[in-house]
Chains A and B, each alone.
Chain A
Amino acid sequence: MTEVRSYYGRPVIKEPVWQPEIPWYFFTGGLAGASSILSLVARLGGNEELAKKSLYIGAAADVVSPVLLISDLGRPERFLNMFRVFKVTSPMSVGSWILMVSGGASSTAALLEATGRLKPVKYLAELVAALSGGPLSVYTATLVSDTAVPVWHEARLELPFLFGSSALASAGAASAMAVAPGEAGPARRLAVGAAIVENVVMQAMEKRLGMLAEPYHEGEAGKYAKLAKACSLGGAALLGLAGRRSRAAAGAGGALLLAGEAALRWSVFKAGFQSARDPKYTVVPQRERAQAG
């Protein structure tokens, strides 16, 4: 390995200034987006109970999300400045618009569902929420990849799939908890399948990252990663094996899985900070590139 030189061991780039609201938003945003899709597909498939519950879950997560984001701003009273412009070069700009559309649509649909009014408007709102749900559950990966943070930028090919599958696992788990086992089949299958895919994606990502995988299993990020793996796989197993017969098992499995998905977001978040803090993760890959090039 190349010898690492630095200025008194100080970082080259700045650590992000984002607060705990942000990893929680990764979780709620993913939950909201994936739940909206789940709801529409359940509606089209004739599972009204699943459609209704996942619509409510999605809307609730969609309402919490902007509160978290505004709370993280240095100047919360200026949150509307997010809508001064639309910039394709800024995933945060694109994401703000996606969240506004998705949140507006899912909360409208949930309100009309609860009151039983304006059916055509409700269907339209459900459609819009589902269409914006995919982008909502994935764009946060693009947002963190589009930085100079080594373990985020270099993981740009895997993170959207990691965040996407994590979103699906949380949506499946939440609905499997809320819906009676007899009607929660698709939610359970979604949760179990997505949890497996997510762990496979994580393995593939770490393998490709090489030295840059270190922050993902060291320090706080490593603790969250272990927790994520144990909870997501444990929750998926419980949900898959006993969730059909026992409401209690579905509840416990779903809760475990949700905890795992939150831990996964925290792991990725913390790994970014850890890689920014240590100059070697910035300098070594660049030095090797410069010498090769």
Chain B
Amino acid sequence: MSTLTYGEEAKERVGFFTDTSVCIGCKACEVACKEWNLVPEDGMVWTGESYDNTSELGANTWRHVTFIEQNEPLHAPADGGDSGEVDALRWLMSSDVCKHCTHAACLDVCPTGSLFRTEYGTVVVQEDICNGCGYCVPACPFGVLDKRHIPRPSGDPPAEILGLQLGKEDGRVWKCTLCYDRLKGGHEPACAKACPTDSIQFGPLDELRERAEQRLGKLQAENWNGARLYGHDPDDGVGGFGAFFLLLDEPEVYGLPPDPVVTTRDLPEMWRTAAIAVGAVVAGVLAAFVGGSQ
């Protein structure tokens, strides 16, 4: 990742540190995000999955609060042995969001250049360019991006003139912009602003990483069960997240991948393999003529 191309306009890299140990599941972040970014509603289903009827991040959900009910103690016993008595319920809550990866697969595979790296080091979709090819959707190791399937808003002149818009779905991909517009105006993103417990902390990434280490040290000193940082390490498979987390269990329990790797890390190998296969294809045709041309 580099904001070097911005020269003097490059800004300090910013991001989120989401400390789930103080999340109270109020969903103020979900609401603030929807309101500020005009993210449309897309139906209401009752899932029966604790207090979560939103289910997952997607084109119309850029902050998603997970709720996990566990028959586990909140604090591990100090001696590390079996706790014997179990607190009735541990209720884990976490506000998930686009990770704004250092090495972002969505950005790499986007064929139109619609996805780009901002001067703040964040990853944003330019909706006036996205043609809805959908490549970023399965490329993201976190399942953040998705195509918007609800009807198009009015006011897309070329489409309207060509009569292509009637009854068509939006068709573009959407995701968290880390409130690019608010950053430009010197404000923190809407979700962080609305969070009443400072579970969502916004700031320069370096500062957030330091703060997270301190917080983890405190929780570990207090024997919090399963406390760990997720996505804070610049040496991980995506070069560290721009939006990282303090979790209280394994990432997969929150629907997050345990060891995400940017798919384009293996692209040199993939292109080499493709080149050899092209050679094999040509050799195959030539071989078919070995017995004569007729």
Contact = CB atoms under 8 A, between A and B. Distances in A.
A287 B258 contact: yes
Contact of A75 (B58, B131, B286): B131
B142 interface: yes
Interface string B260-288: 10011011011101101111111011111
A149 B273 CA distance: 18
B138 A84 contact: no
A211 B130 CA distance: 36
A79 B131 contact: yes
Give the interface residue-count category, chain B. Answer: 35 or more
B88 interface: no
A264 to B, nearest CB: 15
Contacts of B131: 73-76, 78-79, 81-82
Interface stretch (A2-10, A202-210, A251-259): A2-10
B134 A74 contact: yes
B294 A148 contact: no
A98 to B, nearest CB: 11
B146 interface: yes
Given A12-B252, A137-B281, A74 B170 contact: yes
Nearest to A35: B285
Contacts of B114: 81
A276 B187 CA distance: 37
B248 interface: no
A111 interface: no
Nearest to A280: B252
Given A84-B113, A137-B281, A74 B289 contact: no
A201 B109 CA distance: 27
A81 B112 contact: yes
B138 A13 contact: yes
Nearest to B169: A74
Contacts of B269: 156-157
Interface string B119-143: 0000000000111111101111111
Contacts of A283: 252, 257-258
Contacts of B24: none
Interface stretch (B14-22, B28-36, B157-165, B211-219): B157-165
A183 B173 CA distance: 50
B181 interface: no
B145 interface: yes
A160 B269 CA distance: 12
A153 B266 contact: yes
A77 B158 contact: yes
A5 B253 contact: yes
Contacts of A160: 270, 273-274, 276-277
Contacts of B146: 14, 17
A134 B113 contact: no
Contacts of B137: 14-17
Interface in A182-223: 182-183, 185-187, 189-190, 193-194, 197
A45 B132 contact: no
B5 interface: no
Interface string A80-103: 011011011111110010000000
A58 B135 CA distance: 26
Contacts of B49: 8
Interface in A60-77: 72-77
B194 interface: no
B289 A186 contact: yes
Contact of A74 (B105, B132, B280, B292): B132
A162 B67 CA distance: 43
A164 B159 contact: no
Given A92-B111, A276-B138, A74 B147 contact: yes
A190 B172 contact: no
A197 B283 CA distance: 13
A38 B109 CA distance: 31
Nearest to B134: A17
Contact of A45 (B129, B130, B139, B289): B289
Interface in B157-185: 158-159, 162, 164, 169-173
Nearest to A191: B288
Contacts of B276: 160
Nearest to B173: A74
B220 interface: no
A190 B289 CA distance: 9
Nearest to B127: A75
A189 B276 CA distance: 22
B139 A147 contact: yes
Given A89-B108, A93-B111, A286-B257, A17 B252 contact: no
Contacts of A85: 111-113
Interface stretch (A117-125, A138-146, A231-239): A138-146
23 contacts: A8-B47, A8-B255, A12-B255, A12-B256, A13-B140, A73-B131, A74-B133, A78-B112, A81-B114, A84-B112, A89-B267, A92-B111, A137-B281, A146-B139, A153-B266, A156-B269, A187-B288, A197-B284, A282-B257, A283-B257, A286-B260, A287-B258, A289-B259
